[in-house]
């Protein structure tokens, strides 16, 4: 028997995620069974539970895109993994349960240098940040970049990775409380509390090489205006709940606009390539170049309490299920 968090209808996560006890199925000969030890609650989980991706999500389902565990058992056709291996099963949801049966080729190898909690937060945000900086914008010394929601978990990681190559970002936050949570070396801090704050804060800071935007909405135009011709605008989240308006495209033909979604990247690459990228990220974590704050830990069977604690995500720090 095992505990599983189950979604049987779409809606607000605290209302629709339930906990159930189920029998473990027989392990397939070509799969591994991973005993999951620690799991993150991420915005991507909440968005999926809401039904935003209903067209590609079949009910009922087990949420959780980021979970760390240890291989418990291997099918007789499995090679290259053995019981006791530390892994992150990726390319599918299903992390909010005690055991996950999965394709062994979808298991990222986790180095012993990472603790269980570090491992459980080493994939979604760190991989997204590293890939955007190094694959999307080609981060190098001397570049000038801006990061909004800069006091969030991923904002902190973006700042740390930028600092590692000598880049000091412009950090954009929503409150003085967020300013207090900022870490790392920064070119400037802009507190975007009310209409006009962002435009005023960016005045005189034009010529940016890149903007990393996870907020969306009307402020995208102010950020785009601060980019130099040919600058990169990478949009990877929608914390505001407001899409970027179509007029954005017509009014900014001189910038390079792109989306980034980790799920799409992972599904488009070979797992060897994904493993190499993850090894780069894990090395940054092991060297303490980047880190993720864990502010609360709940047992899986207390999923309702965990979700209430995790939301809203602007509160800072990760909530784990362990």
Residues 6+ apart with CB under 8 A from 185: 159, 163, 168
The count of structural domains within the chain is 2
Q: Within this chain, do residues 14 and 28 fall inside the same structural domain, yes or no?
A: yes
CATH number of the domain residue 102 falls in: 3.90.180.10
Q: Within this chain, do residues 146 and 113 fall inside the same structural domain, yes or no?
A: no
- Residue 87 β-bridge partners: 69, 109
Whether residue 281 lies inside any domain: the answer is: no
Whether residue 276 lies inside any domain: the answer is: no
Q: Within this chain, do residues 243 and 315 fall inside the same structural domain, yes or no?
A: no
In 3D space, the residue among 149, 142, 222 whose CA is nearest the CA of residue 189 turns out to be 149
In 3D space, the residue among 153, 150, 181 whose CA is nearest the CA of residue 168 turns out to be 150
3-state helix, strand, coil in the chain (%, to 5): 35, 25, 40
Q: Are 161 and 133 in contact (CB under 8 A)?
A: yes
Give pTM, 2 decimals: 0.94
Least confident of 52-61, 190-199, 236-245, 278-287: 236-245
Whether residue 285 lies inside any domain: the answer is: no
In 3D space, the residue among 295, 4, 307 whose CA is nearest the CA of residue 121 turns out to be 295
Q: End-to-end CA distance of the chain, in Å?
A: 17
d(CA 22, CA 255): 51
Model pLDDT for residues 108-121, shown as the tens digit of each residue: 999 999 999 999 99
Residue 247 has pLDDT above 80, yes or no: no
Whether residue 163 lies inside any domain: the answer is: yes
Q: Within this chain, do residues 143 and 256 fall inside the same structural domain, yes or no?
A: yes
Q: Within this chain, do residues 72 and 182 fall inside the same structural domain, yes or no?
A: no
Q: Give the model's pLDDT for residue 200.
A: 82
- What's the average model confidence in pLDDT over 98-108? 97
Q: Within this chain, do residues 66 and 149 fall inside the same structural domain, yes or no?
A: no
CATH number of the domain residue 174 falls in: 3.40.50.720
Distances (CA, A) of 8 to 55, 58, 262, 313: 15, 9, 25, 24
d(CA 139, CA 203): 23
Q: Cis check for the bond before 60: say yes or no (omega within 30 of 0).
A: yes
d(CA 129, CA 135): 10
Q: Within this chain, do residues 132 and 117 fall inside the same structural domain, yes or no?
A: no
Q: Within this chain, do residues 134 and 209 fall inside the same structural domain, yes or no?
A: yes
Q: What number of other Cβ atoms are within 10 A of residue 169's Cβ?
A: 27
d(CA 69, CA 204): 48
Last residue of a domain, one of 213, 246, 262: 262
Backbone CA torsion sign across 226, 229, 232, 233: positive
d(CA 284, CA 134): 13
Provide the residue count of the chain.
Answer: 322
Q: Within this chain, do residues 104 and 170 fall inside the same structural domain, yes or no?
A: no
Q: Give the helix/strand (H/E) hosting 268.
A: helix 262-268
Whether residue 164 lies inside any domain: the answer is: yes
d(CA 319, CA 121): 10
Whether residue 269 lies inside any domain: the answer is: no
Whether residue 273 lies inside any domain: the answer is: no
Model pLDDT for residues 19-72, shown as the tens digit of each residue: 999 999 999 999 999 999 999 999 889 989 999 888 889 999 999 999 999 999
Place of tokens 């792109």: 258
Model pLDDT for residues 60-95, shown as the tens digit of each residue: 999 999 999 999 999 999 999 999 999 999 999 999
Q: Within this chain, do residues 254 and 133 fall inside the same structural domain, yes or no?
A: yes
Q: Within this chain, do residues 71 and 150 fall inside the same structural domain, yes or no?
A: no
Domain with 190, as residue range(s), is 127-262
Q: Within this chain, do residues 143 and 226 fall inside the same structural domain, yes or no?
A: yes
Whether residue 287 lies inside any domain: the answer is: no
Last residue of a domain, one of 215, 243, 262: 262
Place of tokens 């880190």: 291
Please provide residue 195's backbone torsions phi and psi, each rounded to the nearest 5 degrees: -55, 130
């Amino acid at each position: 028997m095992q505990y599983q968090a189950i979604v049987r209808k779409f809606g607000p996560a605290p209302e629709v995620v339930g906990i159930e006890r189920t029998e473990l199925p027989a392990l397939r000969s070509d799969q591994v069974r991973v005993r999951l030890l620690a799991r993150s609650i991420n915005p991507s989980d909440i968005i999926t539970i809401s039904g935003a991706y209903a067209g590609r999500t079949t009910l009922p389902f087990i949420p959780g895109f980021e979970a760390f565990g240890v291989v418990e058992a291997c099918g007789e056709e499995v090679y290259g993994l053995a019981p006791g291996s530390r892994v992150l099963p990726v390319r599918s949801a299903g992390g909010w349960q005690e055991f996950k049966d999965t394709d062994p080729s979808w298991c990222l190898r986790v180095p012993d240098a990472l603790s269980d909690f570090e491992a459980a937060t080493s994939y979604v945000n760190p991989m997204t940040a590293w890939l955007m900086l190094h694959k999307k914008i080609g981060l190098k010394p001397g570049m000038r970049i801006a990061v909004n929601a800069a006091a969030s978990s991923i904002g902190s990681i973006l700042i740390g990775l930028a600092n590692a190559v000598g880049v000091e970002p412009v950090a954009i936050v929503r409150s003085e409380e967020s300013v207090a949570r900022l870490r790392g070396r920064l070119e400037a801090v802009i507190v975007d509390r009310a209409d006009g704050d962002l435009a005023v804060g960016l005045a005189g800071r034009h010529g940016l090489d890149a903007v990393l935007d996870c907020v969306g909405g009307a402020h995208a135009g102010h950020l785009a205006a601060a980019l130099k011709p040919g600058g990169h605008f990478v949009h990877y989240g929608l914390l505001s709940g407001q899409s970027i308006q179509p007029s954005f495209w017509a009014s900014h033909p001189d910038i390079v606009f792109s989306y980034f979604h980790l799920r799409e990247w992972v599904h488009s690459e070979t797992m060897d390539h994904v493993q190499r990228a993850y090894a780069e990220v894990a090395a940054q974590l092991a060297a303490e170049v980047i880190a993720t704050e864990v502010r609360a830990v709940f047992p899986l069977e207390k999923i309702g309490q965990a979700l209430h604690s995790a939301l809203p995500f602007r509160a800072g720090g990760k909530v784990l299920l362990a």
